[in-house]
Structure 1
Amino acid sequence: MSASPALATVKARARKAGLRFWMQRVLEECDRARVNFAPDPVHDLRVALRRCRSIADGFIAVDPDPAWKEMKKAGRRLFSRLGELRDVHVMQEWVGKLAAPSDPAATALLQFLAARENELKQEAALALTEFDRKQWKRWSVSLPRRITRLRQGSVIFKHLALERLMYAHDLHRRALRSRSRIAFHKLRIGIKRFRYIVENFLPQQHSAWSSDLKRLQDVLGEVHDLDVLWSTATQIHAFPDQQSQMQWQQKIAQDRQQRIEAYREKMLGRSSLWRAWRAELPQGRQIAAVALARLKLWASLLDPDFRHSVHVTQLALQLYDGLTNGKSQVAEERAILEVAALLHDVGRSQDERGHHKASYRLIRRLSPPLGWSGESLHLVALIARYHRGVLPGRQATLRALPSPERRLVLRLAGILRLANAFDVDRHGRVHRLAITQRNGFITVAARNYSSQSNAAEAVAAARHLLEVVYRRPLLVRPMKIPKTI
């Protein structure tokens, strides 16, 4: 079923207008749909809701503001009820395409669908009544402001698109291997989620890919429609005899296979769309770099003094490099420390006094971006948890780790503790550290450090964990600055 002319005329404007436009459009389409829940208004309201919810879905991955999840959830029930009603409208169209009105099975299906349509209209009307329009209006003002923090076409959105692409490609392999209805349904959703990221956030790629993405969505959508129609027909025993059932089955199977072949033609071989799309998205080392940028953005939107965290990160990496002395450095270890330092104060957005514990909880709830595993992000959370407060030891969260990971957490948490102590006054005075290890001592020379400063007491307490880990005393002294003549 094609979109109504009213919706078609605003698509170009909508791409430029963005979230604010679509959120206002939802309210307008609610008024149109509530009249009689006819096919076109139902479709148009679903499109407007889908655009809002898909934009929210994209920003949930990079912006910790809970309003994104709340907005997405607010439209869920209405979107779901409208979706069921839309399925009925589509099945009614398919029945008209597949059989003559005099066909007994078609008659049975249309009677069932008409009754079901009336039920779903009542449910949709109730969902529309429960829809909080006032809150939606408030979000239509506040959320578009947050969007301006990240421009369309950003490499961060390309990274997010790559996540969705790789997930969809995995579903593609499974669907072609199993050929099951469920697998193709999941594939349809996977490609749809990829399409939404491109549609909402990557205008250049959308301009080049939109026709193919829409065609694929239509093809897989029709496969799903035919599967739902066949399932419905068998469940209500629409067929008067076995011959009628076989005729319908053959026709549906034939139409379904045609669409799967159309999909395969586009998505298999050296010229497949998978290859074309993948070539335009982050490659190689860029994936890790953009993942770091995503995590950094997320932290910056929570941490009330992110400049301090960036400074502590620089100090922590200097400590790590000096302690390893260029030997036995592990890139993944260093990356874990870097992210833990950047994220260690995100808990200040919730609880100043126990912010290290709040940081742990926030990081644990964070979905790992492409290039990171849940296990690595768990280590980040633990290091952030123990950057201050009680010394890590026999806590259950640590005991659950294998010994190598537990030792790593202790070592990196010790480094982060000391780095954080050097900037306890948050003035950024200490900005360079040099580490030497000789005669059984670790010596840290700190530029602009003074034993009479506020940092001295914090450093004296913070160094203990590193002393325990390395089993040697750690001395801190001011860095000698060569005199110029």
Structure 2
Amino acid sequence: MRRVLSEHSKALRDLHPDTVHDLRVALRRCRSMADGLMEVDSDQAWRAMKKDGRKLFRRLGELRDTHVMIEWVKKLEPPGDTAAKNLLAALHQREWRLKQQTADALARFDRVQWKAAEKYLADRASRVPLDGPVFRHIALQRWQEAYDLHRSALRNRSRASWHRLRIGVKRFRYTVENFLPSAHAAWGVDLKHIQDLLGEVHDLDMLWAAFARTGKVFNPSERARWHEIIGKERQDRLAAYREKMSGPGSLWHVWRSGLPQEDALDSSGLEKLSMWAAFVDPEFTHAEHVARLALNLFDGLSAAGLPGPYREPRNRLLLHAAALMHNVGHAAGHKGHHKESYRLIRRMTPPIGWTPEDLEIGALVARYHRGAWPRAQHPGYATLPPVRRETVLHLGGILRLAAAFDHAHTQAVKKLNVQNQPEALLIWAQGYRRAAENARILAAERHLLERALRKPVIIRPRPSGPKRLHLEEAAAQVA
């Protein structure tokens, strides 16, 4: 964002083509940075920053496109070509008009507001580690979007499809440049080359459209000549693109190999959801602690061989995600935060490797950490197949009990151990004290898990230090 201010100062003095280009690139990098961080940070300041620079960005874009077309006409025009002279005259007239509009946009740009936003947003951006799993996952999303557009362009071969691909590659390139410095060091040259090739294809398409708009002065022989000139330049660049981007040695495969692989999508997707929750939830350390306790319970139930969704690793992942996100509804600042958590989570775009059903289940489990139990008429829950309803019932019961263990947000209960006895499920809680308030809350919040397991749940403090008993001995005493 600081680069925008320095380039803005230069542009105020002179709207030279290079100055226009440099300021537009600086603004585009900021917009790309905002797009990436908005994947995990919903703070409205990111949208405000994009809005603050939008009008200037558009004016610069129109002027830059005109500069580029002037350069192309001068580069390609045959000697004495009337159509080229007519178009250049029209473009120079357009350039003069756009310079006036761009100068006005430059004068209206609020440098003070931009500088204030820079300080605030830089602090928020620093919370997400560069080269880390969150940004690597976001880069994979951009890669997938661009690759899908690549396949579409090769099939359709339309000007619109090549233009969409250009935008997709640009978004991927700037994501890598902004957030993955190590990958950019390896891929930066190739990414720029591919973006330049597609950019020149787009420039040539715009040039042809500009010639077509000159109307009757563009006679058939001139049309044929320029169609051939532009067509050859365009095909040369498309051939160079296909050479780099098709076949086993394609750069698409090189880039994909440096991003999260299939076996890492669950964990990188979880990291992304966790980072989003950390930005939204003002007491995220509580959510992290509840998640640890919930996983203690899930793993204990799995080891005990109890019937239910405990043998599926994906259910553990969904419980983990739901626990990390269960309190995001507090950001709305009103009662019924569990329902708001449900709404916020299900509105998210699933991370790559995750399905809409995964997020729906995670949202429902988060909802049922408090409040009413699952009911057939509840939105979302009503549309699930019976087996997934059962999953929500079990995971919701686990999360509800785990959250109750840290209801005071003190992280006093450090660890939970599970023992399955014939008459009941025993939960040994390290750090738990049987104070009246603790006992009352846990007694109320264990019932959903009891319903899911179809057996009573008994909670006992777990002794520590020299007085600690083996769990087997303690279990025998309780039995």
TM-score by length of 2: 0.88
Comparing 307-316 and 369-378, the one that deviates more: 369-378
Structure 2 match to 1:256 = 234
**Pairwise CA distance, 1:340:** 0.5
Contact in 2 for aligned 1:303/1:346 (Cα 8 Å): yes
> In the alignment, does 2:330 pair up with 1:343?
no
In structure 2, the residue matched to 1:398 is 381
**Deviation at 1:452?**
2.9
Task: Name the CA distance, whole Å, in 2 between partners of 1:216 and 1:169.
Answer: 13
- The answer to whether residue 392 in structure 2 is matched with residue 409 in structure 1 is yes
The corresponding residue for 1:388 is 370
Say whether 1:377 aligns with 2:359.
yes
- Cα distance in 2 for partners of 1:299, 1:161 equals 19
- The structural deviation recorded for 1:387 is 1.3
Distance in structure 2 (CA, Å) of the matches to 1:71 and 1:388: 37
Question: Structure 1: how far apart are the matches of 2:357 and 2:76?
Answer: 51
The residue correspondences of 1:226-245 to structure 2 (distance < 5 A) are 226-237=204-215, 240-245=218-223
2:45 paired with 1:103: no
CA shift in 2, pair 1:441/1:265, >3 Å: same
Q: Quick one: which of 420, 430, 435 aligns to 1:452?
A: 435
Residue 129 (structure 1) shift: 4.1
Secondary structure at the counterpart of residue 433 of structure 1: strand
Q: Are 1:225 and 2:203 counterparts? A: yes
Q: How does 1:76-475 map to 2 (within 5 A)?
A: 76-100=54-78, 102-237=80-215, 240-324=218-302, 325-326=304-305, 329-351=311-333, 353-393=335-375, 394-437=377-420, 439=422, 441-475=424-458
Please state how far the C-alpha of 1:436 moved relative to its aligned partner. 4.4
Q: Structure 1 CA distance, aligned partners of 2:212 and 2:259?
A: 44
Aligned mates of 1:377, 1:273 — CA distance in 2: 32
Q: Choose 300-309 or 242-251, whichever is displaced more.
A: 300-309
Look up the SS of the partner of 1:482 in the other structure. Answer: coil
Partner Cα distance (1:432, 1:401) in 2: 32
Query: Kindly, what percent of the aligned residue pairs are identical?
Result: 49
Q: Say yes or no: does 1:29 pair with 2:4.
A: no
Cα offset, 1:74, TM superposition: 1.9
Q: How much has 1:282 moved relative to structure 2?
A: 2.4
- In 1, Cα distance between the equivalents of 2:470 and 2:247? 68
Amino acid at match of 1:454: E
- Alpha-carbon spacing, 1:398–1:243, altered in 2? closer, same or farther (3 Å): same
Distance 1:318 1:154 in 2: 27
Moved more, 79-88 or 386-395: 386-395
Q: What is the SS of the residue equivalent to 1:446? A: strand
For the structure 1 residues 149 and 33, does the alpha-carbon distance in structure 2 shift closer, same or farther, using more than 3 Å as the test? same
3-state SS of paired residue (2:215): coil
- Listed as ranges, the matches of 1:53-92 within 5 Å are 53-92=31-70
Residue type of the alignment partner of 2:116: R
Whether contact under 8 Å (1:423, 1:455) holds in the other structure is: no
- In 2, the alpha carbon distance for the partners of 1:384 and 1:84 equals 47
The runs of 5 or more residues in structure 2 that have no matched partner are 472-479
CA distance in 1: counterparts of 2:437 and 2:88, whole angstroms: 80
1:476 match: secondary structure: strand
- Could you tell me which amino acid in structure 1 is paired with residue 369 of structure 2? H
Report the secondary structure of 2:459's partner residue.
strand
- Whole-angstrom CA distance in 1 between matches of 2:108 and 2:440: 58
1 CA distance for matches of 2:25 and 2:459? Answer: 62
Cα deviation, residue 443, structure 1: 4.1
CA distance in 1, matches of 2:403, 2:100: 59
CA offset at residue 438 of structure 1?
5.3
What's the CA shift for 1:365?
4.0
Q: Residue 482 of structure 1 aligns with which residue?
A: 469
Report SS of the residue matched to 1:372: coil
Secondary structure in structure 2 of the residue aligned to 1:388: coil
Pick which of 439-448 and 219-228 moved more.
439-448
Deviations 1:205-239 (A, max 9, x none): 22222221111111110001111121232244265
Q: 1:74 to 1:407 in 2, by over 3 A?
A: farther
Q: How many angstroms does 1:450 deviate by? A: 4.1
More displaced stretch, 436-445 vs 152-161: 436-445
Distance 1:196 1:337 in 2: 34
- C-alpha deviation, 1:200, in angstroms: 1.7
Aligned to 1:14: none
Taking the aligned partners of 1:69 and 1:364, their CA distance within structure 2 comes to: 21
Q: CA deviation at 1:261?
A: 0.7
CA distance in 2, matches of 1:457, 1:237: 83
The answer on whether the counterparts of 1:308 and 1:428 sit within 8 Å (CA) in structure 2 is yes
- The alignment of Structure 1 onto Structure 2 pairs a total of residues equal to 463
User: How much does 1:336 deviate?
Assistant: 0.8
CA distance in 2, matches of 1:70, 1:457: 47
Deviation at 1:177?
A: 1.7
In 1, the alpha carbon distance for the partners of 2:363 and 2:172 equals 29
Give deviations 1:331-370, integer Å, cap 9, x for gaps.
2211111000011122334426433233234323433322
**1:457-476 alpha-carbon deviations (Å, 9 max, x no partner):** 11122123233434444343
In structure 2, relative to structure 1, the CA distance for the partners of 1:120 and 1:357 (3 Å cut) is farther
Rounded Cα–Cα distance in structure 2 between residues aligned with 1:395 and 1:289:
30
**Cα–Cα, structure 1 residues 202 and 448, in superposed 2: closer, same or farther, change >3 Å?**
closer
